[in-house]
Amino acid sequence: MRHHGSGVVRVEKMRKILIALAVFALFPQISSSGQTKTRRRVETVRFISKLVGTTLLYKVILPPDYDRSRTTRYPVLYLLHGLSGHSRDWISRTNVADYASQYRMIVVTPEGNDSWYVDSAGLPTDKYETYIVQELIPDVQQRYRTIEARYGRAIAGLSMGGYGAFKFALKYPDQFAFAGSTSGAFGVTRYAEKDTGKGAAWETFLKLFGPVGSQTRKANDLFELIAELPAARISSLPYFYFDCGTEDSPLIFNANRELDQLMLQKKIPHEFRELPGNHSWAYWDAQVQEVLKIAAQKVRLPPPNGLAKSQRMKRMQN
H or E element that contains 18? helix 2-26
pLDDT per residue as tens digits for the range 272-290: 999 999 999 999 999 999 9
Mean pLDDT of 68-80: 94
The answer, yes or no, to whether residue 2 has pLDDT greater than 60, is no
pLDDT per residue as tens digits for the range 221-276: 999 999 999 999 999 999 999 999 999 999 999 999 999 999 999 999 999 999 99
Give the Cα separation of 254 and 274 in Å (integer).
Answer: 11
Q: Determine phi and psi for 243, rounding to 5 degrees.
A: -140, 160
Give the Cα separation of 105 and 146 in Å (integer).
Answer: 9
The answer, yes or no, to whether residue 74 has pLDDT greater than 80, is yes
Mean pLDDT of 11-28: 43
Give the Cα separation of 234 and 269 in Å (integer).
Answer: 9
| Domain limits, the chain | 1-37, 38-304
Mean pLDDT of 62-69: 92
| Contacts (Cβ under 8 Å, ≥6 apart) of 270 | 239, 240, 241, 242, 260, 263
Nearest partner of 222 among 173, 275, 295, 168, judged by Cα:
168
Instruction: Provide the mean pLDDT of the chain.
Output: 87
**Max intra-chain CA distance, the chain:** 93
Count of Cβ atoms closer than 10 Å to residue 104 Cβ: 20
Domain 38-304 in CATH 3.30.470.10? The answer is: no
The model's pTM is: 0.84
pLDDT score, position 194: 86
Strand ranges inside the chain, DSSP E: 29-30, 36-37, 41-49, 54-62, 76-80, 106-109, 153-158, 178-182, 239-245, 270-275
Beta-bridge mates of residue 57: 46
pLDDT per residue as tens digits for the range 27-41: 333 332 333 345 669
CA atoms within 13 A on the CB side of 286: 12
pLDDT score, position 253: 98
pLDDT score, position 39: 60
Look at 176 and 25; give whichever has higher pLDDT: 176
Give the Cα separation of 168 and 223 in Å (integer).
Answer: 13
The answer, yes or no, to whether residue 318 has pLDDT greater than 80, is no
Mean pLDDT of 89-103: 97
- Sign of the Cα torsion 200, 204, 205, 210 reads positive
pLDDT per residue as tens digits for the range 122-180: 888 899 999 999 999 999 999 999 999 999 999 999 999 999 999 999 999 999 999 99
The answer, yes or no, to whether residue 315 has pLDDT greater than 50, is no
Give the Cα separation of 242 and 256 in Å (integer).
Answer: 8
Look at 317 and 286; give whichever has higher pLDDT: 286
Give the Cα separation of 228 and 53 in Å (integer).
Answer: 33
- Sign of the Cα torsion 175, 46, 284, 247 reads negative
Nearest partner of 145 among 71, 92, 195, 253, judged by Cα:
71
pLDDT score, position 316: 45
